[in-house]
Amino acid sequence: MIGISTHVLDTAKGRPALGVRVTAERKSPSGNFVAAGEAITDNNGRIAQMLAGDAGLEAGVYRLTFYVGDYFKDQDHFYPDVTVSFLVVDPSTHYHVPLLLSPYGYTTYRGT
């Protein structure tokens, strides 16, 4: 599989974060970000294919925005959204960008 995927885990609750809206953008040659995709995490907190290689994945800078304020709407939280920027060097490979989330913090890494 090639493309971009993500997995959101709610570390405070110890379970996947379902229903998190995530948008993908790609940096254009002019320096502006342009919409490249949008999806919502499933019951396992996953988006298996945010962008597929044959759907236009190119080398360059991408960013995923996780709308976590909507996810935490019924409880106190600090971040309304989390944006993760990253480089796609080889568009023929897979890029997995997990987000570990709590109401007052988050971490991310390049997954497999």
Residue 111 confidence (pLDDT) above 70: yes
Nearest of 100, 98, 102 to residue 77 by alpha carbon: 102
pLDDT, tens digit, 9 for 90 and up, residues 36-83: 889 999 999 999 987 654 456 889 999 999 999 999 999 999 999 999
Amino acid identity at 8: V
The least confident of 2-6, 43-47, 58-62, 93-97 is 2-6
Identify the residue whose tokens are 């909507």. 70
The values of phi and psi at residue 55, to 5°, are: -100, 20
> Distance (Å, rounded) from C-alpha 109 to C-alpha 112?
10
Residue range 89-98: mean pLDDT, rounded: 92
Please report the pLDDT score of residue 53 as a whole number. Answer: 46
Q: What's domain 3-108's architecture?
A: Sandwich (2.60)
Please report the pLDDT score of residue 59 as a whole number. Answer: 92
Q: Are 61 and 86 in contact (CB under 8 A)?
A: yes
List the domain boundaries for the chain.
Answer: 3-108
